[in-house]
Structure formats: C-alpha cells, structure tokens
Structure 1
Amino acid sequence: MLLHPYIPEDILTDHKTQKTSLRRKHILRDEKEKKSKQRIPHQFLADSDDNEYYENQDRAKQLFVDDLIGADQLLRTNKHNPLLTARQLALPSFDYLFPLIAESQSTRCCDPTILVRSIEHLRSSLGYSLYPQFINCYTWCRDQLSQLSLHPQYAKTYEGWKHGRSYRSLLNLCLEFLMTDHDDKTEGEYEQAQKICREQYDFARNMTEVMGSMNAIVSCQRPQVQPIRQELLQHFYKNFADNPLVIQKWLRLQSTACHPDALSHVLNLLDHPSYDSHNPNFIYALVGGFVFANPLNFHRSDGQGYSFLADQVLVHDQRNPSVAARLCKGFEVVTGLDNKCKDVIGGEIEKLLRWESLSRGTFEVAKKIAESI
C-alpha cells in the first residue's frame, strides 16, 4: 500500500527521516546561536579561553552596531514615550552585570575595574557616535518643558506632572551622554556640552534638573572641566547649606563620582562642617555611596578602598553598631573577585575580627564574609 500516489513508501519514509533530521539540525543550530548570543554580554569582557574571547569580541562589535542603530532609532522616535526611551537607552548597571559575569566565568570572578571601564567605554562611544541625535533630543525635551512652564495650571495636574517627569528623565540622560569623554570628540563639541550643562544648572526649574546637570559635570574627568566642577559644587553648597536632605545629595554626588581622586575627596569631606558623623543618613550618603556605588574607586588596585571601609566600620561600630554592620556588607562582593583582592579583603576582615570590642552584629557579618573567602 502506498502512502503517496507517486512516491513509494520506502522513499517517502527516507525523505521524512532526512527532513526531520535536517529540521533537528536547524533547531540545534538556532539554539546554539541563541545560547552563544546570550553568553556574549557575560563573557566578552573577560574569558579564560583566548579563542573564544576573540570570537566573542567580533560578535560584540556586531552587537554594538545593532545597539547603535537601535539607539539612533529610539532617539528619532522619542516623542511617543520619553520615559520609556530614557529607560531603553540607560546602560546596565555595575550591580546587575557583575554577578552575571562572575558566575559565567570558569574562575567565578570578574575584574570590577575592567567592567566599569567597559560600561564607560560604551557610554562614551554612544555619546560620540550619536552626538547630533542626543543634541536634538535634548533640545526637544527642553522645549517641551518650556511649554509646560507656560501652562502652570496644567503642569500641576497629574498628567502635567507625568509629562514633565518623562521629559526630565530623557533630558538628564541625554546630558549624561553628551558630557562623556571621547578621544575623537572635537573641542567645539566639548564646549557645547559644557555650555548646555551649565545652562541647565543656572536655569533649572527644580531639583531634578539641578542634580542632572551636577551629576554630569561632577563625573566628568576632563581637566578643562575641573574649574567648573569646583565652582558648581561650591555654589550648590552655598545655596543649600541649611537643608540637610539636599546636603546629603551633595555628599553622595561626590562620593559616587567616577573621579580618579574620589577617595581623597571623601576623606576631605569627612572633616567637612556639613558632615554629621553621628547621623546614619549622612554616613550612608558619603561612606555608603563610596562603598556601594563607586566600584571603580572602591576596588582600587592599591587596596586603599578596602582599608578605608574597614577603618570606617571600626569607627562607627563604637557609635552605632547597626550602621557598622550595614557598611561591613560592602565586603560581601569578595565572592566575585580574584584571589589578589580576596587576600586584601581577607586581611581587612581579620583586622575586624581581632578587634576585641567589635559588636555582635558586625562580628557576625565579618565572620560570614571570612567563611566565604
């Protein structure tokens, strides 16, 4: 009996078998490519296999081109949903990427400095490649906010507040990309970005716009920007010196900045008259900001960032043990670091455990970290 009027049963069976086998091969190939692409964001930064590393580098270049095209399209269609556009253009954070990369490596570790540099390199590359688009998008957001300010009654409504929040979110994100440092940027582009940043600070309508401009200028590492940086920091402090909540923002802004002298700035701010070492919120803003939100400087190769944290834990353990225990958790990142960093942190943890008057809460946190090394 024939299953097909023109094809014999044995030939039809072989044909189906070959077709099924071919389909299975395609499925396996697609799954392999899918898994390979999923591994790229985790492994192209640091891979123990040289061949796979260079292969992933080539793939990463193509991914960057795809992301570049996608970012360009987002900037051109920002009118639909500015808040969504801002969130789509935001780069993944260090806290999100670090454990993913560490877990994907055979050594179960990740170099925090390389990771931070990679994120900043991507940010500066996008800021340079899409500079005109970011300028246009920033100008559009600023014009929309100006229109809202002409209708104060509408701006006070929920819809007005929602639109204003969306525009400001995209506005500050564009400014962040515009202020990035890139070798191929022209002096004219640098000057234009600095002028825009200064104008936003001078004519800010609210604290969100003020902090957006401050964050962009304080994080900039170009030597030409340092005079403006100091000027704005002093002006900001002078205007809000009597407001503790805003001063906490001022302290955190400096402690989290990716500035090469961030640790020196934090040490100087510990003696600043506005810093209250007995207030947990001030401690978390300055010390906590440096430890938990400034990985580039906290994980310094000389180990001074780790030593600074251990000293602060001992200082605050005598005043407020709960604050000290919370700060000590900054060492929990040790599980994803290399052996050199583990040895340095292990030495600092041993120093804490040898402290006779160490509180119970801090001791338990330190002991748990020591056991994980």
Structure 2
Amino acid sequence: MREGPALAPVRREDYAPPAYWIRTAELTFDLDTAKTIVASKLAIERNPALPVQPLRLHGEDLNLLRVLVNGQSVSFRHEDGQLVLEAPEADQFILEIRNTIAPEKNTQLSGLYASGSGLFTQCEAEGFRRITYFVDRPDVMARYTVTLRADRRKYPVLLSNGNLIEQGDLDGGRHFARWEDPFPKPSYLFAVVAADLVAREQWVRTRSGQDHLLQIYVTRGDLDKTEHAMNSLIASIVWDEARFGLPLDLQRFMIVAVPDFNMGAMENKGLNLFNTKYVLASSATAIDSDFDAIESVVAHEYFHNWTGNRITCRDWFQLSLKEGLTVFRDQEFSMDMAGSASARAVRRIADVRTLRERQFPEDAGPMAHPVRPDVYQAIDNFYTPTIYEKGAEVVRMMHTLVGQAGFAAGMRLYFERHDGQAVTCDDFAQALADANPDSPLAQQLDLFKRWYTQAGTPVLEARSTHDPLAQRLTLTLRQRCPATPGQAQKLPQLLPVRMGLLAAEGRALPLQLEGETQARGTERLLIMTQAEQQFTFTDVPAGAVPSLLRGFSAPVVLDDGLDDEALLHLLDWDRDPFNRWEASQRLYTRRIVAGLREGVEASRLSSAHLQALSRLLRDEALDPAFKELVLQVPSEMQLVDQIAQADPQRLHELREGLVDQLAAELCEDWTWVDDTHQVKAGYRPDAAQSGIRALGNLALAMKVRHAVATGDPVWPGKAYQRFKDASNMTLRWGALEALVNAHAELAAPALAHFHEQFRHEPLVLDKWFQLQARAPERQGEVFAKVRQLLKHPDFHLGNPNRVRALVFSLTHFNPAAFHRADAAGYVFWAERVIELDAANPQLASRLARALDRWQNLAEPYRSAAREAIARVATRPELSSDTREIIERALNEGQETS
C-alpha cells in the first residue's frame, strides 16, 4: 500500500482516553494465503467519562464485507483511514465485522503475512488494523478468544495467544483450533501462526508447584538448532521468579521462529514470534555471539510477559516503559548468567559499546528525541536505541540510586498498583520512589525525570585540584547538554557518578569527604543535581588519579581532562574493569585524532601504551574476554560519529595503520596468545570458553594481518587450515574473518568453500554476505563486491535478514566503503531506500537512517549526502515511515509542523 504524504504529527500532550472500550474479542479466521476471512465479535462499552461520539475503528488494506451492531446492519462511512459508525444508542453493545485480507500480498510483514509456506502475524505497533477493524491503541485491552480454521495439510499447526481450549477436524480436509487468553491485552500483543512446523517441548515446574508446557516451533529440519533457545527460556523463567518473584502465568509458553521478520522478536502474550536469527543455533552453524544474542533476546521477550504485557503502555509515547525496563532486565539476566565478576564486566562493556555506537549518534542527529518522546509521525520510527538502550540506562540509574533490594521493592509496588493496566513512565518512577522514600531518587524525583523529557547526551566535565599541604583533592563537576531538535535550552539532570581515587603507586585510596569523621570505603557514589558542584576529599596524597563514572554509572560523555600518563595509570591499576577498558579506548582515539591534526606519525601508539597492553595480555588473572575488548580499537563507525567534520577515508587509513602497529609490535604476544588460548574441551557457549575463543581469534587475525603485510605465507596458510579443520563455527568464522579482513590471497577460495558448504543454511549465508560487505575497504573493492552480490542468486530483497546482512552492513557499518568521494555510495543508498520503500516501509526507513548524521561529514561527502537525501525526498509515493526520516534529516531535525 502506498501511503503518500507524511501523516500529521501525533503529540503526547493531545492524549485523551478512548471513547469506547473493547472488553472481549471473539475472532474467527478462515486462513488462506490468497484470501483469509476474518470475523470479529466485539463486546464494546462506551467510556462514560467522555461525551457521546461516533465509534472510530482503525483499518488498513481491508476488504469489508459486513458490519452489524447487536445483530442488525448499520450505516457507516470511511474517514481518514478509519471506519466510522454513528454512536449506538446503547452504552454496551456487540459489534460484528467480517472482512477479508490477502496475506500473500503483504510485503510489509505487518499484520497477517505469508513467509515460506506459513502465515504469521506482527501487530506491534499498529499492525492489527491490517487484520481487521479495531480500536487499535495500547490502552484498549480486551480478553481474546480466537478460532482458527485451515487446510490441515498446508497448515497442520494452528496457534494463537493463551491456552488451547479445543481442537478438531472439519470437513474437506480442514481442521480448527480454539485459543483463549485469560488476560486482557492490547491488540498489538495479538498473534496467529498457521504453518507446517515441528516443536521442541519441555515441561517445567515453577516455584508455586504449577507445571507449564514450553514449546519452540521451527521449520522441519531445524529442530536440532533449538536446544540453546530452550535452555535460555528455562533459565529466564527461573531467574525472573527468583529475582523479582514474577512467575510464568499461562499453561504454556510458545516461541515460533519466522524466516521473514522485520524485528528481532515480538512478545505477544504466550506466543512469542522470533526472527530465526534469535532461535536457531548449533556449534556447527552459529558463533559464540549468536548464542549470546539468543540468550539475551529470549530472555527479553519472556521478561515482557510482565513488564510489557501484564502492565502495558498507556500510549506509544510511553514505549520505553516496557522496552527500557525490559532491556535493563535482560542485561541484568545476562550478567548473572555470565557468572564471575570479570565476565559480568565484559557484558557491561558490551552494552555500553552498543549504546555509544547506536544511541549517542542518534542523540546528536536529526532524529534525537527524549526517552519519552513528545511527538511522532510514524510510530515505527521510534523503536530506537534511545527508547531501548538509553531507556535501559535510565532504569539502571534508578537501580543505582535505590539499590538492588530497593529496586525489587519498587517493582513489587509497581505490580501491586498497576497489574492489568496501561500506564505511563511516571507511574513506574513514582512506584520506585514511593517504595524507597529516603533514597536520592525519591528526594529528587522531579529532577530525575528530566531524563524522560530531555533529548541529547549530557557532557560531564570533571577537573581536580590538589592542595599538597592540606592533602586535599577538590573535584569540580560540571554538566551541560547540547541543543537538540526542538530543545535549545537544557536544564541540569540528576547524575549518579560512581568514582574512586588511585594513588601514584596504584593502590585504591580510602575516600573521606570534607566534613565526614572517617573514610567510607574506596568507592563512592556522588549525586550531582546542579550544573556545577564541588566535592572535596581529605587525606589524599599527591599524584592521585580520579577514576570517574565507574561501571558507566550515567549515560554521559565524560571529559575528565586526564592526560595520557593518567589514562595509562588507570589502564594499569584501576580496579574497575570498565574504566580500564575505557582508558585504552580513549588512548586509541587520541592517537587517531592526533593523526588527523598532525599527520600519520602522530597516530602511532607510544611505547608506554604498547608495554601496558603487553602486560595486560600476559596477565593470567584477567579474563580473556576482557583482554580481547581492551585490545580492540574503536570501530570506524564510532570514530566517524565522535569526530566533527569527519573524513571517513582518512579515519579508515589512520585506524588501519594503528591496528597494523598493534599487529607488528605485539607480534610475540600474539604468538603466545595463539599458543595458550585453545579450548581443548567439547564446545560450550559459556562465558569462559567464549572468552578464550575470542582472544584466540583476535590473535590469529593479528598474526595473519602482519604476515600479509610482510609477505610471510605461513600464518595465512595456518588460518586457511584452521578454517577447514575447525570443530565449531566460532573458530571457522574467526579464521575466515582473519583471511578476508587482511586481504589474504586465500580469502577468495575460503569464501567459495564456505558458500558451498553452507549454501542451504540461510543464517550462515547471511554471515557470508555480511563479512564481505563489512571487510576493510581497499581501492573500492568492497563497494564493487556489494553491488555484485546484489545480483547473487542467494540474495533476496524480500528477506529483511538478507538485506540487513548485505545492504545495511555497507551503509551502516562500513564508513570507508560507503562514504565515497564519487558519491556512488549515496546513489546506491538512494536506490535501495526507494526500492525497499515500495515493499517494506519499516525496513526502508531504517535504511534511510544511514545518512542521519550527514552534517557531521567533511566535504565533499557532506554536500553529496545531502543531495542524495533531497533526491529521495522528491519521490511523492514515499511511505510515511520513510518520509519522516528523510524530511527530518533535510530539515536539520526540526519538527514537522
């Protein structure tokens, strides 16, 4: 469906309760890929708090057959995309609607659509209106009973939300299943599946003594790849009941893997639909990070059963109420599953890196918006890193301010007050504050809630002065937040700053603030509430180095004024793993920035830094996964977004030179790592083994890189042999990556061999496309390869995973290959946005965001990028999803009025 001009903005301040409630919904589907008949019987009740007014029902791409009120035909009209019925006389009535839809023509993958040989739904945010007419908004919650009828041979599995109450045969080779969901839910949580699937099943008994059936449905032939997903689901159920007292509340819980899916997964009540990427894994087809992602996403969607389903959003402006909170919960779960303190730190670093790579650029671009937005045009465009990742950081700060026990108490109060309701972010914050009345959160709640209303990433400036005679160190903190679209002036926010002090010899100093009678440990939480504050510590010897924002205690950019020597001190001695990693990342970035200003020689790492890295690599007490993170140089996408007027080609050149130096000057260390970091036991995707493989793969990549640079054939040969002999995909993939990223001669035969071996494994082929699109650019080779791969018989524009693997990998993750002086990358981008928008606007709008930050580019990229955006904007048939992104970029992020 072509949507034409952009929709009128929806504003949070205009929220009004619905004029009508839908209390129960009885739906009957006669399912067929060409023509599905949908019959609904809705028990509707007028909202007595509002004036009598027409009943307005949302509907999109529907063929209406019949409308009855209390069994009688009624007049209706279509107005602004809605079905409008004049106000019925009764305050309560039964509305019956019959319509048809065509799933096979639904390329948007929203509503009911065909994927492979099955039928599936995706209703969040506004997909239910593509199934039947309804009051399709999250604060209208109904109890659903669903009857599905279909050809048994084509669709032997019929699923919907809740509990299966009846099933049986029908005439003509057809069958039916009737499902009942005992909990009221909004329409966005509705789900239907009709397909030829098989299931892995597991019974579990919860702490209450109730037995529950867990099922994971997949295409025939994929059942052997579901063990990890099932284990992750069981672990999630156990964890949520133990940590928060939240049990599984249905007789069964189902997950269905879908090959064509716009999102990662969807938390429909009791029937989660998942992108196959986040269900299917075996040691032969998935790498360690795939197993991690499956565990995290399975947990996330299961945790939504309470934080999102049992309590849902009043309106879409409150989206972070469920998403930010649930991301925080899945992050906590993943850290608990990791086990050791070191492994937990690795998880935290990974989460922060994601935030910085995805959300910080959004905060600095035209799509910047608060965690609770004030206005939107297409709600699909606001499933953003700000809602998810920054929203999770806001919840984490609450957790920090009230403590773990206080947070658990706040969660209990939240559910006591709001179970079964559609509520707001304010309701959640108030519950946490009321459960912890003496906490900084409760005492400064209005100040803290500015995190919900102000966009942008605050900058925290920290400077320290030392009085050697008085042995006092005064720490001055200043906060500011840059202007963002629609918000020029920003007010101070509450910042929890976790910190420590390291003596010159490296020991952690006891911390005693002026006015206190004694020191209180070696780590403190400073609460910043003003634009500028000072904290004075006593008994501090000369040479102490501040370690600020430990564990990344607030989502800010830290400017602490430390020189390279101080950062090296933190890299060597800091007890906080996050700040050790951070020190190394900042040192890398400084060298690249110096190279931009002063030339290549200035970008070289100092001998002191290299020696510190060598010591860290050889330190047996440190987790291998942590070492791998510290040795990783910031990505080009991070650098492009951090550096004003960025020249992607120049940044690529400098970054590659820095990695070459690491490969060459730590050559003996990499050999030692390769010799000592090989897993001898059978494959397990746990934190311990994964860390060893990660560091081992990095060492192999460095050895191959150095060997190619020096003309040594030995290490490329070793990598190729490991690629062929590997006992699991993580090792195979590490060897293949090493060859491709080093431009080794053996890369081409390895890629051909890989494709031949895994051509029937769609998710593995996605990796094959992705690797080639993300390879380091050299003389335009990667860009040319991507254009060539568009014509590959295994590339399908209709499959979102394949598009993300190839097209998004180039435009979002390979700046040097995408941002070309001849503007060919921008032409490619514009062609793909227009092409995708005609079929799948959600996917197209996400691709459109590759040029969000065009204003941060140096010339000639800046002008060429803007020209490409303007070219797309001239297309009158653009969907509202894509048009909003394009126009906000062109208008420098100003709200469309």
Calculate the TM-score normalised by the size of structure 2.
0.34
Match of 1:148 among 681, 688, 694: 681
From 216, 220, 238, give the equivalent of 2:738.
216
Q: Does 1:280 align with 2:800?
A: yes
The amino acid of 1:112's aligned partner reads: P
CA distance in 2, matches of 1:282, 1:99: 26
Q: Which residue of 2 aligns with 1:170?
A: 695
TM-superposed CA distance for 1:299, in Å, is 0.9
> Residue 735 of structure 2 aligns to which amino acid in structure 1?
S
Distance 2:643 2:819 in 1: 17
**8 Å contact from structure 1 (residues 299, 306) kept in 2:** yes
**Which residue does 1:192 correspond to in 2?**
714
List alignment gaps of at least 5 residues for structure 2. 1-466, 475-541, 547-558, 565-585
Q: Give the CA deviation at 1:258.
A: 1.2
* Residues 707, 713 of structure 2: 8 Å contact kept: no
CA shift digits 1:318-359 (9 cap, x unpaired): 111111111010011212102421210111111101112111
Provide the rounded CA distance (Å) in 2 between the counterparts of 1:216 and 1:18.
Answer: 52
Q: Distance in 2 between matches of 1:279 and 1:33?
A: 46
What corresponds to 1:3 in structure 2?
Answer: none
**2:725 matches 1:203:** yes
Which of 615, 634, 637 aligns to 1:95? It is 637
Across the aligned residues of Structure 1 and Structure 2, the Cα RMSD in angstroms comes to 3.1
Equivalent residue for 1:65, pick from 594, 607, 618: 607
Q: Give, in whole Å, the separation in 1 of the partners of 2:789 and 2:687.
A: 36
Whether contact under 8 Å (2:819, 2:826) holds in the other structure is yes
Give the secondary structure class of the aligned counterpart of 1:348. Answer: helix
Which structure is richer in relative contact order (CA contacts within 8 A, separation 6 or more)?
Answer: 1
Which amino acid in the other structure matches residue 93 of structure 1? Answer: S
In the alignment, is the contact (CA less than 8 A) between 1:82 and 1:170 conserved in 2? yes
Can you list the C-alpha shifts for 1:45-66, whole angstroms capped at 9, x where unaligned?
334xxxxx48x965x65x5322
Note closer, same or farther for the CA distance 1:283–1:140 as it changes in structure 2 (3 Å cut): same
Q: 1:277 to 1:33 in 2, by over 3 A?
A: closer
Distance in 1 of aligned mates of 2:590 and 2:740: 32
CA 1:78–1:334 in 2, change beyond 3 Å: closer, same or farther? Answer: farther
Inter-partner Cα distance in structure 1 for 2:872 and 2:607: 48
Instruction: Measure, in 1, the Cα distance between the counterparts of 2:836 and 2:880.
Output: 13
Per the alignment, residue 299 of structure 1 pairs with 819
- The residue number in structure 2 matching 1:180 is 705
For residues 181 and 18 of structure 1, the distance between their equivalents in structure 2, rounded to whole angstroms, comes to: 48
Give 5+ residue unaligned stretches, structure 1: 1-16, 48-52, 103-108, 150-154
Aligned to 1:121: 657
Alignment correspondent of 1:263: 783
Letter in 1 for 2:596: A
Verify the 8 A CA contact 2:810 2:818 in the aligned structure 1: yes
**How many pairs does the alignment contain?**
321
Q: Deviations over 1:114-142 (max 9, x none)?
A: 11221111111110111122112112112
Q: What does residue range 220-259 of structure 1 map to in structure 2 within 5 Å? A: 220-221=742-743, 225-226=744-745, 228-259=746-777
1:44 maps onto 2:594 in alignment: yes
Q: 1:79 to 1:134 in 2, by over 3 A?
A: farther
Asked if structure 2 preserves the Cα contact closer than 8 Å seen for 1:220 and 1:259, the reply is no
Residues 135 and 178 of structure 1 are in contact (CA less than 8 Å); yes or no, is this contact kept in structure 2?
Answer: yes
Structure with more of its chain in helix, by fraction: 1
**CA shift for structure 1 position 303:** 1.0
CA gap 1:339/1:170 in 2 versus in 1, 3 angstroms: same
Q: Find the counterpart in structure 2 of residue 133 from structure 1.
A: 669
Q: Which amino acid aligns with 1:313?
A: V
Deviation at 1:236, TM superposition (A): 0.6
Supply the distance in 1 between the matched residues of 2:848 and 2:815 (Cα, whole angstroms). Answer: 15
- Tell me the SS of whatever aligns to 1:179: helix
Of 69, 76, 80, which residue of structure 1 is paired with 2:618? Answer: 76
Is 1:320–2:845 an aligned residue pair? no
Whichever structure has more strand as a proportion of its residues is 2
TM-score by length of 1: 0.77
